[in-house]
Structure 1
Amino acid sequence: MSEKHSAKKQSADSKVESVEPAVIASDSNSQSAVHYVDLYESDHKVYTRKITGFFQKLRRYTGLPLMAAYLLIPWLVIDGRPAMLFDLPERKFHIFWMTFWPQDGMFLAWVLIISAFALFTVTVLVGRVWCGFTCPQTVWTLMFISVEHFCEGDRNQRIKLDRQPWTANKLFRKSSKHFLWFTIAFITGVTFVGYFTPIRELLLGLWPNRDPTTGFVYWDIHYAAAFWTFFFAGMTYLNAGWMREQVCKYMCPYARFQSVMYDRETLAVHYDAGRGEKRGPRKHDEDYKAAGLGDCIDCSWCVQVCPVDIDIREGLQYECINCGLCVDACDTVMDKMEYPRGLIRFTSADALETGRTRFWRPRLFGYTLVLVAMVGVFVYAVSHRLPVSVDVIRDRGARLYRVTGDQVQNVYTVKINNMDRRAHTYDIRVSGEHEYRLRGLRVVELDEGEIFTVPVRISVDRSALTSPTNEIEITVTAADDDTITATQKTSFIGPKSVNSSE
């Protein structure tokens, strides 16, 4: 363990913790063998060093498009509505050119399952790159850290600034940082709520209005929209500005079960101890090999740039998010010392020991095969999704059946849901083993997204029935497109005996 972390541990041990320590004793008869272990260690403030390099640029190229998509999609308009709008009051979920309804909840379940398998597959191959490059907690945290660098300077300047007494310069720098933090958090909250309510209406509602008659200032916004806007803004400010690595260490469940998905061929950030040890400082032109030193000069830059405040030289740790910042920092130092790069690099445990690794192995192949199959089924199901649904409910207010002369009648309630993004005229038909006749409204005109309920009577000759329960199908078909059709099966109830007059 490095001196920094040893000092940190000693300092934490000297404090009174709110959690009672656990007692570990190897010998119950010896008091000297009792050791106290703190189950929780409060972390100090992390001051990260600003660094440039390949992975920092890669994060910019992957993060900026995702950030731009997140901010711009609520402003896009398709067919007169937001490109992506989850309209909870209307129970409509508009996603680009498609509209989904609660009946399509199975698609959401499939998306979650596919996302989980995609996460497993990527983790088996390249570790926690999701956490290091695209996780919102990491993206927003690094954005807030960049603001901190801009307002307060690099690591040493921020440490010095925090130790100084409050002055006008310190007050200006701190207030500027928090103002920019809250601005980013507010934009984040507005954008997030903009996926559930039209963002233009949301912004107009957040802008204060003055009543010309009374002069009172009011806001034309629903209280729920205002609450969630400021709630998500506050949580963004708290998580990315203050909690930061604590979210990754103690709140994120992914860090806890990632070890189940790792194997010896998984690519992750590793420190090459065989090449780096024994670590220690040296002069640029010193023959450090003769002194028994490795390539690591113990500069601690890899620790200073780490957003979760770990020392990668201590081995693979669950807190590591594979962001690659320590790789960029170490490569920068190696370039200055004119040593080969790669002392800290993305590699596998097997590659460190044997110099080679297997990318395709049965576990990864199985994950990939299942993922491709599920994506294929999902795409097929969405592309063949019918934009109309029909529900048939037996009228509970009527008798099971009614006998009128030589006819047997059943009454049903047919509910037609036009889930298409344009109006249609639907024909209602009934079919079955016998010649059934439908009485009531047979043609229904429905606007986009309209749900229509119509009662219908279905009759059949009593002499044609051979059983008291018969299966029938009620079908609705769009008059202008016969591929838009939906069918619901139900039962037609008749007398127990064809000669019965019940």
Structure 2
Amino acid sequence: MGSAASKVHEARIELYRRKGKIHARAASGRWNTLRWAMVWFTQIVFYGGCWLTWERGGEARQAVLFDIAQRKFHFFGLTLWPQDALLLAIALVVAAAALFLATALAGRVFCGFACPQTVYTAIFAWVEARVEGDHLARARLDAAPLTARKAALRLAKHGLWALIAAWTAISFVGYFTPIRELLPRLAAWQTGPWESFWLLFYAAFTYVQAGLAREAVCQHMCPYSRFQGVMVDRHTRNVGYDAARGEPRRAGRRDGACVDCGICVQVCPTGIDIRDGLQYPCINCGLCADACDTVMAKIGAPRGLVRFATEAELAGEPAPAGMRPRVWVYAALAAAFTAAGLWLLAERPLLRVDVLRDRGALLRETRDGRIENDYTLKLINLAEAPRRFAVEVEGLPGAHIAGTHIFDAAAGSVTPVRVAVSMPAGSGLSGVQPIRFAVRAEGDADTRAVEPSTFILP
């Protein structure tokens, strides 16, 4: 009976192992250097992008701006409208395919080097280390009773975290409200309700996620860690432990290369032991490989006991010839949708037309015996330059624009214009007849739009 209970206990799956707060030890090496290079690169782009300006036609505007009020997205010299939503969908597909491709090649390498959660956790952990000391000092401070020194250190740390979170929120909202307008309004407490909401929400989100939650996000909140297993196989490169070379391990013995120092566990931001094999909380940051290489160098052993390698390589199996099918599929998807997006971007029309019939009167008869229908045309000038457009009607013999048919539209604007279409009453036609409005840009034969509508006769 006791043996059966023991077996049941050994077979029990431990879904969550409580470890307390993880105080990761600092590591140095090529992967840590690359990790911090990505931190600098991503944050220079994020914090600096909202300050760039773009000048065209003597007017300067923010280079990267999601102008929700005007329903435009400015990206340097490119302006996208809601009608270009397909381009956004294609961009998301390309990003997903690229992420899947990176995962098939090198596991959660995006998580380890470029994920915003990883980047901001690294920044907040760096601040914590500068204020409270190394991992041992932080652990001792956690265990110590509350004193004036401990309160001062915690206040300083959380104050710096709050400042970083606040500036991150301001930079984020600065991509939707021009940053040079947002700061004076923020200083005068004159931000709108939506701006205020997103400033508070994004600041709190950054503070909680990077300062308090940290590895819990990677372990228990991020869905990517759960489904990445379907994108990797035995030939995917992950951070792995060379058990054939390292075992058996014990401090002071040289049977295996691993001296069981535990530094690979101490530097892990998610608190796992890489020697237990591939685990879903592992974010492939490579810090355990850097730490192990440092120890190997000190004891005069070859580096690479912990390294980026495939499961097959660590098992002594030969590498496959050529790329694997899943790699080809992800690469083909990324290439195909990238090509489709570039083609759509190059062929996107700079003129769109919406036609609305006058609902107040279906038709009217003039004194000279002609039938007229009224319409409102919305001339959507997607070009970043003012243009003049000529409006004509096609598809109905004898029909023409009554009155002016030349209209001016400002750069990047939606210009509503009213036109009346007239035709003789004795044409022999009756009822609802199809017509087409043809709009062309003067001086540019390639910019032309045709929109169908109807003409009503008695």
Deviates more, 1:168-177 or 1:465-474: 465-474
Deviates more, 1:260-269 or 1:460-469: 460-469
Name the counterpart of 1:16.
Answer: none
Name the counterpart of 1:367.
Answer: 330
Matched, 1:73 2:49: yes
3-state SS, counterpart of residue 104 of structure 1: helix
Deviation at 1:472, TM superposition (A): 3.2
- Paired with 1:223 and 1:91, the residues of 2 have a C-alpha distance of 19
Alignment check: 8 A CA contact 2:388 2:442 kept: yes
Alignment of 1:82-481 (within 5 A): 82-208=62-188, 219-282=189-252, 288=254, 293-358=255-320, 360-399=323-362, 409-432=372-395, 434-460=397-423, 470-481=433-444
- Paired with 1:206 and 1:49, the residues of 2 have a C-alpha distance of 39
- Paired with 1:308 and 1:486, the residues of 2 have a C-alpha distance of 57
Output the amino acid matched with 2:409.
L
Output the amino acid matched with 1:248.
C
Alignment check: 8 A CA contact 2:94 2:333 kept: no
- Paired with 1:37 and 1:126, the residues of 2 have a C-alpha distance of 28
- Paired with 2:245 and 2:367, the residues of 1 have a C-alpha distance of 95
- Paired with 1:39 and 1:400, the residues of 2 have a C-alpha distance of 73
- Paired with 1:176 and 1:48, the residues of 2 have a C-alpha distance of 20
Alignment check: 8 A CA contact 2:362 2:456 kept: no
Alignment check: 8 A CA contact 2:354 2:379 kept: yes
3-state SS, counterpart of residue 340 of structure 2: helix
Output the amino acid matched with 1:238.
V
Encode CA deviations 1:161-218: one digit per residue, 9 max, x unaligned: 222233343333222222221111111111001111111222112225xxxxxxxxxx
3-state SS, counterpart of residue 315 of structure 2: helix
Deviation at 1:473, TM superposition (A): 2.5
- Paired with 1:364 and 1:404, the residues of 2 have a C-alpha distance of 73
- Paired with 1:401 and 1:479, the residues of 2 have a C-alpha distance of 31
- Paired with 1:482 and 1:349, the residues of 2 have a C-alpha distance of 60
Output the amino acid matched with 2:216.
Q
Residues 316 and 450 of structure 1, relative CA distance in 2, 3 Å threshold: same
TM-score by length of 2: 0.90
Alignment check: 8 A CA contact 1:401 1:408 kept: yes
- Paired with 1:273 and 1:50, the residues of 2 have a C-alpha distance of 24
Which structure 1 residue ranges, 5 or more long, are not aligned?
A: 1-26, 209-218, 495-501
- Paired with 2:287 and 2:120, the residues of 1 have a C-alpha distance of 16
Name the counterpart of 1:52.
Answer: 28
- Paired with 1:315 and 1:404, the residues of 2 have a C-alpha distance of 90
Residues 466 and 38 of structure 1, relative CA distance in 2, 3 Å threshold: same
- Paired with 2:143 and 2:158, the residues of 1 have a C-alpha distance of 18
Deviation at 1:273, TM superposition (A): 1.2
RCO higher in 1 or 2 (8 Å CA, sep ≥ 6)?
2
Deviates more, 1:102-111 or 1:182-191: 102-111
3-state SS, counterpart of residue 307 of structure 1: coil
Output the amino acid matched with 2:376.
T
Deviation at 1:232, TM superposition (A): 1.0
- Paired with 1:422 and 1:488, the residues of 2 have a C-alpha distance of 23
Which structure 2 residue ranges, 5 or more long, are not aligned?
A: none
- Paired with 1:486 and 1:308, the residues of 2 have a C-alpha distance of 57
Name the counterpart of 1:11.
Answer: none
Output the amino acid matched with 1:174.
R
Alignment check: 8 A CA contact 1:401 1:493 kept: no
Which of 463, 467, 489 is equivalent to 2:452? 489
Encode CA deviations 1:391-440: one digit per residue, 9 max, x unaligned: 11233333279799875544432111122222111111222264531224
- Paired with 1:269 and 1:441, the residues of 2 have a C-alpha distance of 71
3-state SS, counterpart of residue 159 of structure 1: helix
Alignment check: 8 A CA contact 1:440 1:455 kept: no
- Paired with 2:96 and 2:433, the residues of 1 have a C-alpha distance of 44
Deviation at 1:491, TM superposition (A): 3.8
Deviation at 1:458, TM superposition (A): 2.6
3-state SS, counterpart of residue 166 of structure 1: coil
3-state SS, counterpart of residue 402 of structure 2: strand
Name the counterpart of 1:24.
Answer: none
Please, what is the CA RMSD of the aligned residues? 2.6
Deviates more, 1:329-338 or 1:407-416: 407-416
Residues 422 and 31 of structure 1, relative CA distance in 2, 3 Å threshold: same
- Paired with 1:433 and 1:446, the residues of 2 have a C-alpha distance of 27
Alignment check: 8 A CA contact 1:49 1:154 kept: yes
Output the amino acid matched with 1:47.
H
Encode CA deviations 1:218-268: one digit per residue, 9 max, x unaligned: x23223322321221111111101100111112111111111111121111
- Paired with 2:385 and 2:90, the residues of 1 have a C-alpha distance of 27
3-state SS, counterpart of residue 445 of structure 1: strand
- Paired with 2:276 and 2:110, the residues of 1 have a C-alpha distance of 22
Deviation at 1:158, TM superposition (A): 1.3
Deviation at 1:153, TM superposition (A): 1.5
- Paired with 1:315 and 1:403, the residues of 2 have a C-alpha distance of 86
Output the amino acid matched with 2:21.
K
